[in-house]
């Protein structure tokens, strides 16, 4: 019997804006000036905020924090591309997204400052509470997407996970169920090359992470995750496919974690200066600045104004967050919808004078 | 040599891996990085990637693979980065690690060690402060150890690496660098299933393990200053548990306080209390008191201090029991 090929698949790599700010005009999305301006402002604000959080942690004003620096395009590109009616399931690294969804920046600070209040987020913002256990959010995103489909809401569910998360069983459950249940999902893999110290190549023998989609019958695309135009375009297209055709997509966004994994980590233990330098030259903000200059949006004055605005916003948010004072007694109030007698007694004991 | 607990465990792993070539270390970030707490520091350089494996990020994968290795002739030490993340692997521990010996009437066994940093009050993020020893003690077929000092950590781990059954090794991360003590350079073992009587006394028995032993010791000192004579027991081994030592002590003192970080409901204190009721009821001068975490989700760092038993709460528990 002749050998037949029973499966063949491939994964496209997409880059629209290269590291030098040169644009591929054929792929260039049509984005209004207003949106371009917002993309830039958010990227700058996110980086400013991130820097501030690090400084706060270093001076004992914030607890363990997971920096986003270097990954602005994946976060902001997605935040801008998503519709208000879509759902987003971020990981801890994308907490800036809450702000893009309309939640005050100060509230995110409150979360990183060690108060549960930070995640007391109204579901109307359609942004799921981020998860610390790796990959757990992914099957929830699949289930959430099935809810949207059953309820007839035309909403895509856009989730984030790191390269490390693709090794957890949940990642595979999420994709497999999405394929079988035909759910409106967009699974973003933020491939920032490391899971704490473990390099991407030790996470899986697969050449790309996107190709894992093919095994589950999903579409898989790899893109330059430091290219905000590519991220924006691909998320827009995938979300539309999800909403209109109930077809899930896996988007592997190739980026780099410029900072430490979290403030408890020392990246010098496991990666070289040269590698970091290589990625510095591929910065997502630098190349977008060139693009905006060519579009006549960016100027020295604009840069100044954007930076000052970002700084002010961040300072205000920190001030507001630091003024927040929660009530420790609340720790007993939300275990179950109704307070039990047992907890009432324990609460009294815990806070007796 | 003076060592803190991280050094003592590290020292033990070095020695054991030199002693027995079938021992290997595996887990997230245990190799090049030396572990997020540096417990496995230096092992990668010394023993290489074949025996010190930076695994893909999957707890189920780590423990499942370790189980296979153990069954077919190796002796893996699997690290779960934080105890709160072990539950993806719980499936393998419960379904097979704990049962393979029984299912095959002793023909197949799982001599592996699963190391897990547990305990809280260290300003960590969510899921990084758990103290969930009970779900493991609850499973017949698992050995559960929990050292409270560098000396015990080294000796218990050495025993774990010769044990015939799967060992869950709970490391109190709060004590990792809390203090140093003399730890012998040479290999030694602390027997599994044997509690340690840290201090003899006549008025009350205090039972604890892991991080809470450290906190309890401070409360016990205060109690002694106040004229209460406390017999302090550090369990070290939670399953099998040295109930004899507890009974003997309670027979003498007639009073018992159990301290644990885990939530109160179905914490191991409940079992200890029940055992005392079964055997020592007529000797008791007061009800067995449990000083524990509350029955709530461990709070975020800003307010977590209200959750964990502290010196004050333990001392109150001691006094309440003595004055019953
Ligand atoms: C289930 C689980 N195991 C282990 C950890 C500890 N941990 C926190 S982040 C991390 C690496 C995550 O890497 P990746 O998924 O690539 O995301 P990144 O942090 O790089 O954004 C690990 C192992 C965890 N949080 N959850």
Model pLDDT, residue A338: 97
Looking at the structure of chain B, the number of domains it has is 2
* Complex ipTM value: 0.97
Q: Of B155, B182, B209, which residue sits at a domain end?
A: B182
Chain A residues touching B301 at Cβ < 8 A: 63, 114
Domain co-membership, B42 together with B166: yes
Instruction: Kindly state the tokens that stand for A273.
Output: 């200066």
Q: How far is A270 from chain B (nearest CA, A)?
A: 6
Mean per-residue pLDDT for B297-312? 96
Instruction: Indicate whether residue A94 lines ligand 1 (CB < 6 A).
Output: no
Q: Which residue has the tokens 């521990």?
A: B93
Domain co-membership, B163 together with B248: no
Choosing from B4, B96, B128, B260, the catalytic residue is B128
Q: Is residue B189 part of a domain?
A: no
Q: Is residue B187 part of a domain?
A: no
Instruction: Indicate whether residue B125 lines ligand 1 (CB < 6 A).
Output: no
Domain co-membership, B177 together with B262: no
Domain co-membership, B255 together with B299: yes
CA distances from B183 to A287, A305, B152, B154 (A): 56, 61, 9, 8
Interval B207-227: pLDDT, tens: 999 999 999 999 999 999 999
Q: Is A158 in a helix, a strand, or coil?
A: strand
Domain co-membership, B206 together with B290: yes
Domain co-membership, B272 together with B298: yes
Q: Is residue B26 part of a domain?
A: yes
Mean pLDDT taken over chain B: 98
CA distances from B170 to B118, B156, B310 (A): 6, 11, 20
Domain co-membership, B220 together with B250: yes
**Which residues contact residue A274 at a Cβ distance below 8 angstroms, ignoring those fewer than 6 apart?**
none
Residue B302: which of A64, A114, A265 has the nearest Cβ? A114
Q: Is B198 in a helix, a strand, or coil?
A: strand
> The domain containing residue B79 runs over which residues?
2-182
CATH of the domain at B135: 3.40.50.970
Domain co-membership, B36 together with B167: yes
Per-residue confidence band for B77, with pLDDT thresholds at 50, 70 and 90:
very high
**Which residues contact residue A95 at a Cβ distance below 8 angstroms, ignoring those fewer than 6 apart?**
A68, A108, A111, A112, A130
Q: Of B132, B152, B182, which residue sits at a domain end?
A: B182
Grouped pLDDT means (10 residues each) for chain A, 353 residues: 94 98 98 98 98 97 97 98 98 97 96 96 97 97 98 98 98 98 98 98 98 98 98 98 98 98 95 98 98 98 98 98 96 97 98 88
Domain range summary for chain A, segments of one domain joined by +: 12-322
Q: How far is B219 from chain A (nearest CA, A)?
A: 18
Model pLDDT, residue A353: 78
Per-residue confidence band for B89, with pLDDT thresholds at 50, 70 and 90:
very high
Domain co-membership, B132 together with B22: yes
Domain co-membership, B146 together with B228: no
* Cβ–Cβ contact A136 with B under 8 A: no
Instruction: Indicate whether residue A134 lines ligand 1 (CB < 6 A).
Output: yes
Classify domain A12-322 at the CATH class level: alpha beta
Per-residue confidence band for B115, with pLDDT thresholds at 50, 70 and 90:
very high
Interval A112-122: pLDDT, tens: 999 999 999 99
Domain co-membership, B102 together with B54: yes
Give the whole-angstrom CA distance, residue B284 versus residue B255. 6
């Amino acid at each position: 019997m002749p050998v037949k090929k029973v499966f063949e698949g491939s994964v496209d790599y997409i880059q629209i804006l290269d590291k030098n700010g040169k644009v591929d005009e054929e792929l260039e999305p049509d984005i209004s000036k207003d949106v371009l301006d917002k993309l830039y402002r958010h990227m700058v604000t996110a980086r400013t905020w991130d820097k501030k959080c690090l400084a706060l942690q270093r001076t004992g004003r914030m607890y363990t924090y997971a920096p986003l620096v270097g990954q602005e395009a994946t976060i902001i590109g997605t935040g801008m591309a998503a519709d208000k009616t879509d759902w987003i399931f971020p990981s801890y690294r994308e907490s800036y997204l809450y702000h893009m969804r309309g939640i005050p920046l100060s509230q995110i600070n409150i979360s990183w400052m060690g108060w549960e209040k930070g995640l007391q987020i109204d579901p109307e913002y359609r942004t799921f509470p981020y998860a610390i256990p790796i990959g757990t959010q992914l099957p929830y995103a699949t289930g959430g997407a099935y809810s949207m489909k059953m309820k007839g809401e035309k909403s895509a569910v856009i989730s984030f996970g790191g390269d490390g998360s693709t090794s957890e069983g949940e990642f595979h459950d999420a994709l497999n169920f999405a394929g079988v249940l035909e759910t409106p999902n967009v699974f973003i893999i933020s491939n920032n090359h490391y899971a704490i110290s473990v390099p991407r190549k030790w996470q899986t023998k697969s050449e790309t992470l996107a190709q894992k989609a093919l095994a589950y019958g999903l579409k898989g695309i790899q893109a330059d995750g430091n290219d905000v135009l590519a991220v924006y375009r691909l998320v827009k297209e995938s979300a539309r496919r999800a909403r209109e055709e109930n077809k899930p997509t896996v988007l592997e966004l190739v980026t780099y974690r410029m900072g430490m994994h979290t403030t408890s980590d020392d990246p010098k233990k496991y990666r070289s200066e040269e590698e970091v330098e290589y990625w510095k030259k591929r910065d997502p903000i630098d190349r977008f600045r060139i693009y905006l200059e060519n579009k006549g949006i960016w100027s020295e004055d604009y840069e100044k104004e954007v930076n000052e605005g970002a700084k002010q916003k961040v300072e205000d948010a920190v001030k507001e967050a630091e003024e927040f004072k929660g009530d420790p007694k609340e720790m007993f109030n939300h275990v179950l919808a109704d307070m039990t007698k047992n907890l009432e007694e324990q609460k009294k004991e815990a806070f007796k004078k | 040599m003076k060592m803190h607990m991280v050094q003592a465990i590290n020292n033990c792993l070095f020695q054991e891996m030199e002693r027995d070539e079938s021992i290997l270390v595996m887990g997230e970030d245990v190799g090049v990085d030396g572990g997020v707490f540096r417990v496995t520091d230096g092992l990668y350089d010394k023993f290489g990637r074949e025996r010190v494996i930076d695994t893909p990020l999957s707890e189920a994968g780590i423990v499942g693979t370790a189980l296979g290795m153990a069954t077919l002739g190796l002796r893996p030490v699997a690290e779960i980065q934080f105890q709160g993340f072990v539950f993806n692997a719980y499936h393998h521990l419960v379904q097979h690690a704990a049962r393979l010996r029984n299912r095959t009437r002793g023909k197949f066994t799982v001599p592996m060690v699963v190391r897990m940093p547990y305990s809280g009050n260290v300003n960590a993020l969510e899921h990084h402060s758990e103290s969930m020893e009970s779900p493991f003690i609850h499973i017949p077929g698992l050995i559960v150890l929990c050292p409270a000092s560098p000396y015990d950590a080294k000796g218990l781990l050495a025993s774990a690496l010769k044990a015939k059954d799967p060992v869950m090794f709970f490391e109190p991360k709060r004590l990792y660098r809390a203090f140093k003590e003399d730890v012998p350079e040479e290999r030694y073992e602390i027997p599994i299933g044997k509690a340690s009587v840290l201090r003899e006394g006549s008025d009350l028995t205090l039972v604890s393990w892991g991080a809470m032993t450290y906190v309890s010791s401070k409360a016990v000192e205060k109690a002694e200053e106040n004229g209460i004579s406390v017999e302090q027991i550090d369990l070290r081994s939670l399953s099998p548990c040295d109930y004899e030592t507890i009974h003997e002590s309670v027979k003498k003192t007639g009073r018992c306080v159990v301290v644990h970080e885990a939530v109160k409901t179905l914490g191991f204190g409940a079992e200890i209390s029940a055992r005392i009721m079964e055997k020592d009821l007529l000797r008791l001068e007061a009800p067995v008191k449990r000083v524990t975490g509350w029955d709530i989700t461990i709070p975020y760092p800003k307010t977590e201090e209200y959750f964990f038993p502290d010196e004050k709460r333990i001392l109150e528990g001691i006094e309440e029991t003595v004055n019953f």
